[in-house]
Amino acid sequence: MNSENITGADTAPLPPISGAGAQLRAAREAQGLDVSHIAAETRIPRRHLEAIEAGDYESLPSRAYAIGFSRTYAKIVGLDPAMITDEVRLELADGSMRRTIPTPGIEPGDPARLPSAGLAWAAAGAVLILAIGIFAFYNTYFGSGADADELLAPQPVETAAPAVPVANVAPAPVPTGPVVLTAMEDGIWVRIYEEGGARLAERTLMQGDRLEVPASARDPRINTGRPDALGVTIGGQSVAKLADRAQTISGVPVSAAALAGRPAAGAATAAPAIMAPAPSAKATGPAGTGTR
Q: What is the pLDDT of residues 63-98, one digit of tens each?
A: 999 999 999 999 999 999 999 999 999 988 876 554
Q: How far apart are CA 116 and CA 107, in angstroms?
A: 18
Select the more confidently predicted residue: 121 or 285.
Answer: 121
Going through 73-136 in order, the beta strands assigned E by DSSP cover none
Q: What is the dihedral of CA 223, 225, 229, 235, to 10 degrees?
A: 0
Q: How far apart are CA 231 and CA 242, in angstroms?
A: 8
Q: Is the pLDDT of residue 106 over 80?
A: no
Residues 6+ apart with CB under 8 A from 262: 232, 239, 240
Among 237, 216, 242, CA closest to 227: 242
Q: What is the pTM of this model?
A: 0.35
pLDDT-based confidence at residue 153 (cuts at 50, 70, 90) = low
Helices 20-30 & 63-77, crossing angle to 10 degrees? 30
Which amino acid makes up residue 61? P
Q: How far apart are CA 90 and CA 84, in angstroms?
A: 10
Q: Is the pLDDT of residue 273 over 50?
A: no
